[in-house]
Structure 1
Amino acid sequence: MKSLFFTGSILVSSFVLAGCSTNVITKEDHANVLIEKDKAEQLDVSLNIAAGKLHVSEGAKEWVEGELEYTTDILRPNVSYKQSGKKGKIVIEHTNKKFSDLKGPNMKSNWDLQLSNKVPIDLNVNTGASETHLDLQGLQLSDLNVNVGVGDTTIDLSGDWEQDFDVQLSMGVGKSTIILPKDVGVQVKSSKGIGHSEFRGFISMGDDVYVNEAYENAKIKINVNAELGIGKADFIIEE
């Protein structure tokens, strides 16, 4: 049984154009993505979006479910899955990076993805010129790495967590909002960029280190290393 399915107009029109070089805005294409569960006990998920909008949340009954929309073949993402031993490796990415000639209000590249909460996930997100919303509460994160280029980014890590994990953030140009839990220990180590940063609900420990009130006695801890770029970055403890 195959583990990966695409459905929708992507099968009819976009694959016909595969390999062609075109910067012409075409009609909107749509693909449903389904990566089925198998015997993997851990997932390594990489999401590499060069341009557009990315929304990620939990809720998939299989490993990954979601929808991809785009208006030109250049923005058609590639989806791959491979199981090796106990780990499944998922990559969804823009492989064509030549977007300089794409213009116009009708250009669209929207990824709306749901991930499974049944196994631990190492999640790597790399964005170019993108609007990004990562609603990660409810997942079993074992590691999170987010590298932002240009655009506004929201990362929601609020809620309860059952294991420690590390977060690596490299924030570029734009506004970033990172929401962190109140009842799980949180430590943020930041390196200041040109922009402005705020730490709401945190206790300053000096040397650009901030913790929440639960950190000292918490059994579960999230350790965040943040490289702050140009723009504004808000680190907020959930209410």
Structure 2
Amino acid sequence: MKIKILRLMSLIIIMVSLLLVISCTTVGDLRTEYQSVDLDNAEYVRTEITMGAGELKVAGGAGELLEAEFIYNVVQWKPEVDYRISDNRGYLTLKQPSRIGDVFITNIRYKWNLLLNNEIPMDLDITFGAGNGNLELGSLHLTNLDIIMGAGNVLINLEGSRSLARFDMIVGAGDANVKLTGDWKNDLDFNIKGGVGEATLQLPSDIGVRVDISGGIGKINAKGMKREGNSYVNDAYSESEVTLSIKIQAGVGEINLEIVE
């Protein structure tokens, strides 16, 4: 958890440097660049994506390890992509540069469209500050997923994930919509730590779900679920072979639990 707190602090520093520091940075011509990364001989990949501010889209379907489209109009923010392999393990990093002296202007365009390979086993780590995110991750061969978001809005679709076992998420002042429906093949441990934002979880009706809640949450909407103390369960809980175990620790905010038939 200490590492995640340090990452959150780093994200805040990136956002401050992007949003508050005034200099001669100007908006230039809109650039669209494409980049792909070959898997090579890696049997497993850890992918880290860091964006301070902008629009982020991530999905499966890449023929290579990564197929990326970068759209931006500030040359200082050219995305940094690095890939290395050690002992058949690949390490892929994508990062938005943070350079003191940049100013955030209203007509800046900054957008990443990323496709990742569906077949390679992967741990995915996303740090996302301000903006909009659309993460269609259900087709990926994920084992572990970590997401830290600041003041943005993000949609995370994990419908029918075939391999995800652990998902940790920290939400600041943003809004998150997480889709966990579909035909899950294994148990999931999902932990959320929240701030003052809103989180909506779309949950399956035919797979067991238990949601444990702690902290000073402002409002909980749990239509279609049964309350057991500080926990909520669906009708399939303890009846199905697979269970989604969700723990929410939050401050002032709103939690929406939605059972999807």
How far is 1:84 from its partner?
Answer: 1.2
Deviations 1:164-220 (A, max 9, x none): 51111111112211111225554444454666554455444433x444444534444
**TM-score, with length taken from structure 2:** 0.72
1:216 to 223, 227, 238: 238
What are the ranges of 5 or more consecutive residues in structure 2 without an aligned counterpart?
Answer: 1-22, 182-203
**TM-score, with length taken from structure 1:** 0.78
How far is 1:33 from its partner?
Answer: 1.7
- The alpha-carbon distance between structure 1 residues 228 and 52, as it changes in their structure 2 partners (threshold 3 A), is farther
1:86 matches 2:77: no
Whether contact under 8 Å (1:177, 1:235) holds in the other structure is no
Whether contact under 8 Å (2:71, 2:109) holds in the other structure is yes
Deviations 1:102-144 (A, max 9, x none): 212x201101101111122111110111211111111111011
Aligned residue number for residue 72 of structure 1:
74
Aligned residue number for residue 180 of structure 2:
180
- The alpha-carbon distance between structure 1 residues 225 and 125, as it changes in their structure 2 partners (threshold 3 A), is farther
The within-5 A match list for 1:107-186 is 107-158=108-159, 160-181=160-181, 182=204, 183-186=206-209
Aligned residue number for residue 48 of structure 2:
46
Counterpart AA for 1:65:
E
Q: Secondary structure at the match of 1:173?
A: coil
Whether contact under 8 Å (1:78, 1:94) holds in the other structure is yes
Larger displacement relative to structure 2 (31-40 or 48-57): 31-40
Whether contact under 8 Å (2:25, 2:102) holds in the other structure is no
1:206 matches 2:218: no
Alpha-carbon distance in 2 for matches of 1:201, 1:41: 42
- The alpha-carbon distance between structure 1 residues 28 and 165, as it changes in their structure 2 partners (threshold 3 A), is same
Counterpart AA for 1:143:
N
Q: Secondary structure at the match of 1:101?
A: coil
RMSD (CA atoms): 2.6
Alpha-carbon distance in 2 for matches of 1:142, 1:162: 9
Alpha-carbon distance in 2 for matches of 1:188, 1:43: 30
Alpha-carbon distance in 1 for matches of 2:252, 2:171: 8
- The alpha-carbon distance between structure 1 residues 48 and 236, as it changes in their structure 2 partners (threshold 3 A), is farther
Alpha-carbon distance in 1 for matches of 2:167, 2:97: 25
Whether contact under 8 Å (1:176, 1:233) holds in the other structure is no
Alpha-carbon distance in 2 for matches of 1:157, 1:22: 42
Instruction: Give the aligned length.
Output: 216
Alpha-carbon distance in 1 for matches of 2:252, 2:109: 25
